[in-house]
């Protein structure tokens, strides 16, 4: 039985109508930006960290503009610009993002200044960029739009809330499209703090060995993802049927709620063609993934994604970006395969992710 | 004075993150804001921080700031007269 606390903690999206993904863009450790696909040659982690593969920003901004942009502002702006361009939209009805930590490099710079200069006169630029919603503001300014503009900062639920907000806007008829997404970065200092907290593996591990490492900890990652969501099916890559989030569920609650989530959308486990799950190589959380993967049928493909993008608060953005491309192209990347199934026609894809066992999320997608 | 102006230009380039710019490219008498170097209001805040940290000068009157930041020549002269460190 689902406990009362869990019932209160999760946010059901089953009253919300499906939305459609018109375009999707990703900037992460892999060169996903150049061809808007997962490259054949993958970049491996260096000392258990997968860091941004940066696009050529000088194609988008002048030196005078770039000088005041932090690394996360640059990834965010460029991903948003290309996502909107792909969709042929210059003025979205809403700009909604999620981030677990925002611009850590600017936050650290600002905090360092406070300490170094004894809370005296501080530089304005790192302060401006350390605020979570600065990227959203810049996207709005760049596109000359003063539409609905919100940033969610809810750790492992940040991206989910940005998407749910967009879905709610559509359901209420307040928007027909929305630029939604997430952005995250890792700094050397923050890496060390999280290492001390047991987030990363002790010994260096290669990406391709991560999921069979059999130890605790994972590899860190960073990524920026943007999606143009719309309420109509025209020219869509994929359909996002719903999202279900759960906070610290037991294994039994996880399975029961996942089954209920599928049922609410008229599906059963047997209908799932692909499970794309967030195994991060940390044995402390392996049981959650084993429990869910045990439910999918033999013919379904089981894919993982964090060995490619690393672990971070909004890593599910990579899964959503990849899922939209799988459904559009009907191609399953071999490098993500945990278990190859036989399903040829991909109609229903389930993403399951959890962030260090606390924030759990299911995304149901289809075509 | 010429050496000091060069030092000041290097400090401005670093503080404003004017990537790739050399001190020689900044004209001593050209306006720093608007035309000339084309700096803006956030840059003026960065310059106020620069003046306080490097020379112990606090600029609290905006009218005074407008005059001081008119050009490298004006800035250098003002710093030399009012510096506390």
Residues 6+ apart with CB under 8 A from A130: A102, A103, A106, A107, A109, A110
Please give the Cα distance from A86 to A94 (Å, whole number): 17
- Decide which of B18 and A183 is more confident: A183
Q: Is A114 left (phi over 0), alpha (psi -120 to 50) or beta?
A: alpha
Q: What is the end-to-end Cα distance of chain A in Å, rounded? A: 33
């606090």: which residue's tokens?
B58
Q: Which helix (H) or strand (E) holds A34?
A: none
**Tokens representing residue A361 in the block:** 């999320």
Q: How many of the other CB atoms lie within 10 Å of CB of A266?
A: 8
The answer to which of A61-65, A82-86, B6-10 has the lowest mean pLDDT is A61-65
Share of residues in chain A with pLDDT > 90 (%): 90
**Which secondary structure element, helix H or strand E, spans residue A246, and what is its range?**
strand A238-247
Determine the Cα angle at A331 with ends A158 and A13, to 5°: 30
* Tokens 């991060």, located at residue: A280
Average pLDDT, integer, range A143-160: 97
SS3 annotation, B17-60: CCCCCCHHHCCCCCCCECCCCCECHHHHHHHHHHHHHHHCCCCC
Asked if residues A303 and A289 have their Cβ atoms less than 8 Å apart, the reply is no
If 0-12 CB within 10 Å is exposed, 13-18 middle and 19+ buried, where does residue A47 land?
exposed
B56 close to A (CB below 8 A): no
Of B19, B52, B53, nearest to A63 by CB-CB distance is B19
B-interface mutation test, from A123, A126, A138, A141, most B Cβ less than 10 A away: A123
Q: Which residues pair with B85 in a beta bridge?
A: none
Longest dimension (CA), chain A: 64
In CATH, A18-230 is 3.40.47.10? yes
Q: How far is B1 from chain A (nearest CA, A)?
A: 27
B52, A121: Cβ pair inside 8 Å?
Answer: yes
Decide: A333 and A132 in contact? Cβ < 8 Å.
no
Model pLDDT for residues A213-270, shown as the tens digit of each residue: 999 999 999 999 999 999 999 999 999 999 999 999 999 999 999 999 999 999 999 9
Nearest to A124 among B17, B20, B42 (CB): B42
ipTM: 0.82
CA distance A67 to chain B (A): 5
Binning pLDDT at 50, 70 and 90, where does residue A288 land? very high
Question: In the predicted model, what is the mean pLDDT of residues A290-309?
Answer: 98
B42/A128 Cβ within 8 A? yes
Res. A10: pLDDT tops 60: no
Two domains, one topology: A4-10+241-366 and A18-230:
yes
Domain residue spans of chain A: 4-10+241-366, 18-230
Residue A3: which pLDDT band, with cuts at 50, 70 and 90?
Answer: low
Going by pLDDT thresholds of 50, 70 and 90, the confidence category of residue A1 is: low
pLDDT for residue B41: 87
Size of interface A-B (CB pairs under 8 A): 30
Residue pLDDT, tens place only, A252-262:
999 999 999 99
Nearest CA in chain A to B57: A121
pLDDT at A349 over 90: yes
Residues 36-55 of B with CB under 8 A from A: 38, 42, 45-46, 48-49, 52-53
Inter-chain residue contact B45 with A66, CB threshold 8 Å: no
**Within 10 A of A115 (CB to CB), how many other CB atoms are there?**
8
A67 with B45: Cβ contact below 8 A:
no
Q: What radius of gyration do chain A's Cα atoms show? A: 20
Q: How does residue A11 score in pLDDT terms, banded at 50, 70 and 90?
A: very low
Q: What is the homologous superfamily of the domain A4-10+241-366 according to CATH?
A: Thiolase/Chalcone synthase (3.40.47.10)
């Amino acid at each position: 039985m689902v406990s009362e606390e869990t019932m209160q903690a999760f946010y059901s999206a089953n009253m919300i109508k499906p939305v459609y993904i018109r375009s999707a863009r990703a900037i992460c450790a892999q060169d996903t930006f150049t061809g808007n696909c997962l490259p054949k040659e993958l970049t491996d982690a260096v000392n258990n960290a997968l860091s941004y593969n940066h696009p050529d920003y000088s194609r988008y901004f002048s030196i005078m503009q770039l000088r005041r942009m932090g690394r996360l502002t640059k990834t965010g702006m460029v991903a948003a610009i290309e996502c909107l361009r792909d969709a042929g939209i210059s003025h979205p009805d809403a700009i909604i993002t999620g981030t677990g930590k925002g611009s850590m490099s600017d936050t650290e710079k600002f905090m360092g200044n406070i300490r170094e200069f004894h809370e005296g006169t501080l530089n304005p630029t790192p302060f401006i960029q350390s605020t979570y919603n600065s990227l959203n503001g810049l996207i709005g300014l760049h596109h000359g739009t003063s539409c609905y503009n919100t940033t969610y900062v809810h750790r492992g639920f940040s991206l989910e809330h940005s998407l749910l907000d967009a879905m709610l806007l559509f359901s209420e008829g307040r928007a027909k499209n929305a630029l939604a997404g997430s952005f995250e970065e890792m700094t050397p200092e923050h890496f060390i703090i999280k290492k001390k907290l047991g987030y990363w593996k002790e010994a260096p591990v290669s990406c391709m060995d991560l999921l069979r490492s059999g130890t605790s900890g994972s590899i860190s990652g960073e990524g920026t993802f943007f999606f143009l969501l719309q309420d109509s099916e025209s020219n869509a890559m994929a359909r996002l049927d719903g999202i279900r989030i759960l906070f610290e569920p037991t294994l039994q609650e996880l399975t029961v709620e996942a089954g209920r989530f599928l049922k609410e959308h008229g599906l059963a486990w047997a209908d799932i063609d692909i499970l794309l799950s967030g195994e991060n190589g940390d044995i402390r959380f392996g049981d959650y993934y084993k429990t869910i993967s045990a439910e999918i049928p033999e013919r379904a493909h089981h894919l993982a994604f964090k060995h490619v993008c690393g672990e971070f608060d909004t890593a599910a953005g990579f899964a959503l970006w990849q899922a939209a491309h799988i459904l559009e192209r009907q191609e399953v990347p071999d490098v993500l395969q945990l278990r190859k199934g036989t399903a040829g026609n991909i109609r229903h894809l389930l993403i399951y992710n959890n962030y260090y066992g606390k924030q759990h999320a299911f995304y149901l997608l289809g075509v | 004075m010429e050496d000091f102006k060069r030092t000041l230009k290097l400090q401005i380039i670093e503080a404003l993150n004017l990537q790739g710019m050399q001190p020689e490219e900044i004209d001593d008498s050209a306006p720093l804001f608007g035309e000339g170097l084309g700096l803006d209001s956030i840059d003026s805040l960065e310059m106020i921080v620069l003046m306080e940290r490097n020379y112990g000068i606090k600029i609290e009157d905006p009218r005074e700031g407008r005059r001081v930041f008119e050009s490298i020549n004006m800035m250098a002269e003002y710093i030399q007269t009012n510096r506390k460190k």
